[in-house]
Structure 1
Amino acid sequence: MKYVVVSGGVISGIGKGVIASSTGLLFKTMGLKATSIKIDPYMNIDAGTMSPLEHGEVFVLNDGGEVDLDLGNYERYLNVTLTRDHNITTGKVYKQVIEKERRGDYLGKTVQIVPHLTNAIQDWIEKVAHIPVDGDNEVPDVCIIELGGTVGDIESAPFVEALRQFQFRVGPENFALIHVSLVPVIHGEKKTKPTQAAIKDLRSLGLTPDIIACRCSEELDQAAIDKISMFCHVGPNQVLGVHDVNSTYHVPLLLHDQKLMEFFSKRFKLDELKLSSERIAKGQDLWTRWNSITQSHDRSFQKVTIALVGKYTNLQDSYISVVKALEHSALRCELKLEIVWVEASDLEIESSVTNKINYHKAWGSLCSADGILVPGGFGTRGTEGMIAAARWARENLVPYLGICLGFQVGVIDYARHVLNMKTNSIELDETIEDPVIVYMPEVDKINMGGTMRLGIRPAVFQESTENSVLRRLYGSAPTVMERHRHRYEVNPEHIDELEKSGLHFVAKDEKAERMEVFELKNHPYFVGTQYHPEYLSRVLDPSKPLLGLVAAAGGKLESILAATVDHHSDQAKGPVTDF
């Protein structure tokens, strides 16, 4: 097993996740199997109870783990399925050590940060790194470990020490460190002092970088590379410039062009590994497809505008999986994506009184968009604006996708404005007499962490839904597996009434008790999913509901459906009936 650690200096949010994911992808293009681990130095057990406005999106895994958004990057780039144990937090490790101490596992010894906590971290890394993640039973060849935060922070100190020890546990021939640092440009001059100071701090903690990845707004010139090389005690070939590019999907190409894998081939003696011709060919095919899709992105000129109506728009990382899934879909459709961020509360009538400018600007953005997406969220703020957005899309035949909360507000709009019900979600108004959205009976209403309907679950397309647009996008599959994160569902008492009036629940859970997907007939694309399709979107295999939205908004839905039918011809055979 080879281990590559990615750490960061100078500032947080520098792009370690993308560089870690891109490095893993490059290993896969060589025919190797890669996995990833994210270390988060916060005390939370997981990311489930953290505010999206502070921490960004909570990413959900197949096993229901609520984890850091960077694990979404790993899954998207590496096309792997990770587990909750691939996200290590300070809270998890301390909890494990304290539980062992309570059981008496340490035989009366004084339990300390070193060696007990640092040993627990190393054991955790080594155990998780060997978990198969490619859908087979083969152990990965390389593990990419991202150390969250900034080296030097007090929170990350135990992890830095654990990694210092870990390099000797696994041997120098199996361990490498990429340190990501910032090279700011001030008055046109690239400043290397912050990187020099960051590397000095890193070395003082016992870690020596093998690669220094320099984030810069501009391409790094040779003079800056030579200066960093000299003062940071590494060769010029170990200093990589990672400047701003058209999209993050170009970063693997950038690293490849600077011969990152040539360095690792020598460092890890990869030529000595005996790989099958099938794995080598698979890696080459991956690289060819990746190059092709990034080139098609550069050649795309037709623009498609999607209005993302959310309540956490002040921090766009809150919706990073949705954004990435839209990007994947635009790449597939060869369209230039423009996301217009619409704060849901600005669409509400009250906003027109308190801030007329924001109100009219928000409605102007919504009305001029080619498609509308309402993502997930919690709480009452902005929900009336989301309902208004769903109504606009429905009545004006604008392609619409509602995800989780967006699914629920689509149902509320339909119940209110088609069935003339005075209704709401019990989440949004606890006093409502006849809610159309209710608590799921099995959900814990008191404890917040890990108590929702979480993880991968089936959505079963119902009889006579062969003509469902979404089912056709899925290749006419009878059942699809998608990830969930919700506490509320459509009130079973109103399902028959909603369906008879034209809101078709084309997919339900395995017991046909819980609504999973709705669609409207006689509409270009009006779809809601209770599940979160964005979590399973991949760069080379976009999420089908989001692909449908982008294709419909860009006038390419029929061609995408035709290509899907051709690709899934065996499943698509048979008579097509109206749902």
Structure 2
Amino acid sequence: MKYVLVSGGVISGIGKGVIASSTGLLLKTIGLKVTSIKIDPYMNVDAGTMAPTEHGEVFVLNDGGEVDLDLGNYERYLNITLTRENNITTGKIYQHVIERERRGDYLGKTVQVVPHLTDAIQDWIERVARIPVDETNSEPDVCIIELGGTVGDIESAPFVEALRQLKRRAGKNNFLQIHVSLVPVINGEQKTKPTQAAIKDVRSAGLAPDLIACRCQQPLTKSTIKKIALFCDVLDQQVLAVHDVNSTYHVPLLLDNQGLIGLLSETLQLDKLEVLPALLEKGQQTWTHWKQLTLAQDRLFDQVSIALVGKYTDLHDSYLSVIKSLEHSAMRCGRKLNLIWVEAEALETQMSTQDPAKYHKAWHDVCTANGVLVPGGFGVRGTEGMIAAAKWARTNNTPYLGICLGMQIAVIEYARNVCGMEGAHSVEISAHTDHPVIIFMPEGSKTHLGGTMRLGIRPTIWQPGSEWSKLRQLYGNSDEILERHRHRYEVNPEYIEKLSGLNFVGKDDKGERMEIVELKDHPFYVGVQYHPEYLSRVLQPSKPFLGFVAASCGVLDEILEKPDALVVNGVSVP
């Protein structure tokens, strides 16, 4: 097993996840099987109970694992399927060690951070790195490990020590470290001192970076590269410049142009690994399509404007997978994405007196957008604004996509304004509503929040008579689909017959839960209880997003003809 560690210094949030994903993609282009592990040094067992406004979105895996958003990057870039164990947290690893201690596995020894915790971390990495993650169903060749936070933080110290030991355990030519650092520009000068200090810190912790990936606004000058190489004791070619680019999809191209594959091969002796010809051919095809699609995006002029009506709009990472899914679909439709952030509260009537300018701007954004999207969320705040946006889309033939809460919003709006159910609502928001069209799941827990939602991949069965459904056509008219879920509330089955004209075209495998709602006489008005954004890929856009964006562009009929085709420069390719 070959390991590539991606660590960070100076500050967090400078793109370690994208660099790790891009590295993995480049390794796949030469026919290697790649997996990924993300280490998060926080005490939470998983990301499920963390606020999206603080930590970004919670990404959900097939097995129901609620994990860090970077695992979404890995799956999107590498087209792999990870498990909850691919995300290691401090809380998870301490829980694991304490459970072993309680069972008596340590035979009366004094359990310590070193060696017991560090050994547990190494054992976990070695075990998970060998789990198959792609269609080959075979052990990966390379494991990309991303260490969250910054080296030097007190909470990451046990993981740094464990990784130092893992390097020894893995042996020569089996471990490579990429350290990501920041090169700020002050008064027009690229400053190298932060990077020098970051490398000093990581070396004092016992690790020795093989490559230094420098995040910067502009390409590094030759003098800056030479200075970093000199004072950090590496060769010039070991300093990678990762400057700001048009989109994150350009980062693999940027790293490839600087010879990353050659640098990895030299240290890890990748040429000695056995590569299947079929995987090499597939990797080369993927790389060709990736470059074509990414470069074609730079030449697009026509835009599609999407109004995202949400409640966590202050931190865009709260909706990272939604954003990426929209980007994938916009590229497939040959458009540049113009994403308009609309705070749901700003659409509510009380805002017209509290802040008229904000109110009118928000409504202008919704009314002039090509499509309206209401994503998932929890709680009372902003729901009336979302309902108003859904009504606008329904009554003005504007394409609408509701995800999870967004689907529930569409049901509430229809119940109120079409079926005459005054005050219809979700019991999450109005516990004593006369028309509880959205209810708490019967098997849910109201006392424990962590891991108690309906999570992971589950089947949705298309209902008889749904052949007209645009979404079903996008899915290839299959009898069932598999998508990932994350919700506590659902449509009340007692109200289905009362919601005349609202078509529940998809239900769960027992026929009890409403999974997909769609209006028939509308350009595109769809709500899904699941989260299709979790399975969207760069070269394989999510079908609900693709249909929504295509309808917003006015090209849905063209997409319906070949929903699975990859289009580059307006031409379908295999």
Partner in structure 1 of residue 457 of structure 2? 456
Distance 2:136 2:450 in 1: 31
Partner in structure 2 of residue 431 of structure 1? 432
Partner in structure 2 of residue 310 of structure 1? 310
Partner in structure 2 of residue 298 of structure 1? 298
Task: Give the aligned residue type for 1:507.
Answer: G
Distance 1:463 1:266 in 2: 58
Compute the displacement of 1:53 (Å). 0.6
Compute the displacement of 1:565 (Å). 8.0
Distance 1:58 1:511 in 2: 27
Compute the displacement of 1:172 (Å). 2.7
Tell me if the contact between 1:81 and 1:135 (Cα under 8 Å) persists in the aligned partners: no
Distance 2:504 2:465 in 1: 12
Tell me if the contact between 1:345 and 1:384 (Cα under 8 Å) persists in the aligned partners: yes
Partner in structure 1 of residue 58 of structure 2? 58
Task: Give the aligned residue type for 1:393.
Answer: A
Compute the displacement of 1:272 (Å). 1.6
Compute the displacement of 1:357 (Å). 1.4
Equivalent residues, number: 565
Tell me if the contact between 2:38 and 2:71 (Cα under 8 Å) persists in the aligned partners: yes
1:477 aligns with 2:478: yes
1:534 aligns with 2:533: yes
Could you list the structure 1 runs, at least 4 aligned residues long, displaced by more than 2 angstroms after superposition: 564-567
Partner in structure 1 of residue 569 of structure 2? none
Distance 1:104 1:265 in 2: 44
Task: Give the aligned residue type for 1:75.
Answer: E
Distance 1:42 1:540 in 2: 33
Task: Give the aligned residue type for 1:209.
Answer: P
Distance 1:396 1:293 in 2: 33
Q: Secondary structure at the match of 2:314?
A: coil
Distance 2:467 2:215 in 1: 49
Gaps of 5+ in 2: 567-574
Partner in structure 2 of residue 344 of structure 1? 344
Task: Give the aligned residue type for 1:553.
Answer: S
Distance 1:537 1:53 in 2: 22
Q: Deviations over 1:256-315 (max 9, x none)?
A: 000000011111111122212212111111111111110221121110000000000000
Q: Deviations over 1:312-371 (max 9, x none)?
A: 000000000000000000111110001000000110011112111111111111111000
Q: Deviations over 1:93-140 (max 9, x none)?
A: 000111111111111111111001000000000000000000342000
Answer with 1-10 or 357-366: which moved more.
Answer: 357-366
Partner in structure 2 of residue 491 of structure 1? 492
Distance 1:416 1:551 in 2: 29
Distance 1:433 1:363 in 2: 29
Task: Give the aligned residue type for 2:493.
Answer: P
Distance 1:330 1:193 in 2: 41
Percent sequence identity over matched residues?
A: 67
Tell me if the contact between 2:508 and 2:515 (Cα under 8 Å) persists in the aligned partners: yes
Distance 2:406 2:193 in 1: 47
Q: Deviations over 1:387-432 (max 9, x none)?
A: 0000000000000000000000000000000001021000010121
Task: Give the aligned residue type for 1:326.
Answer: L
Partner in structure 2 of residue 208 of structure 1? 208
Answer with 43-52 or 459-468: which moved more.
Answer: 459-468
Partner in structure 2 of residue 196 of structure 1? 196
Distance 1:342 1:286 in 2: 35
Answer with 150-159 or 261-270: which moved more.
Answer: 261-270
Distance 1:135 1:445 in 2: 38
Q: Secondary structure at the match of 1:451?
A: coil
Partner in structure 2 of residue 69 of structure 1? 69
Distance 2:527 2:175 in 1: 46
Q: Deviations over 1:19-47 (max 9, x none)?
A: 00000000000000000000000000000
Answer with 487-496 or 76-85: which moved more.
Answer: 487-496
Partner in structure 2 of residue 575 of structure 1? none
Answer with 385-394 or 268-277: which moved more.
Answer: 268-277
Task: Give the aligned residue type for 1:485.
Answer: R
Partner in structure 2 of residue 520 of structure 1? 519
Distance 1:97 1:515 in 2: 41
Task: Give the aligned residue type for 1:321.
Answer: S
Distance 2:496 2:295 in 1: 46
Tell me if the contact between 1:472 and 1:565 (Cα under 8 Å) persists in the aligned partners: no
Distance 1:280 1:451 in 2: 42
Partner in structure 2 of residue 369 of structure 1? 369
Distance 1:361 1:373, change over 3 A: same
Tell me if the contact between 2:540 and 2:564 (Cα under 8 Å) persists in the aligned partners: no
Q: Secondary structure at the match of 1:564?
A: coil
Partner in structure 2 of residue 465 of structure 1? 466
Distance 1:565 1:304 in 2: 21
Partner in structure 1 of residue 280 of structure 2? 280
Distance 1:565 1:49 in 2: 36
Compute the displacement of 1:564 (Å). 2.4
Partner in structure 2 of residue 246 of structure 1? 246
Distance 1:350 1:564 in 2: 43
Compute the displacement of 1:562 (Å). 1.1
Partner in structure 2 of residue 571 of structure 1? none
Q: Secondary structure at the match of 2:460?
A: strand
Tell me if the contact between 1:400 and 1:526 (Cα under 8 Å) persists in the aligned partners: yes
Partner in structure 1 of residue 570 of structure 2? none
Q: Deviations over 1:439-483 (max 9, x none)?
A: 111111211000010000001111121121000111111110000
Tell me if the contact between 1:215 and 1:243 (Cα under 8 Å) persists in the aligned partners: yes
Compute the displacement of 1:434 (Å). 2.4
Task: Give the aligned residue type for 2:403.
Answer: I
> What is the TM-score when the length of structure 2 is the normalising length?
0.97
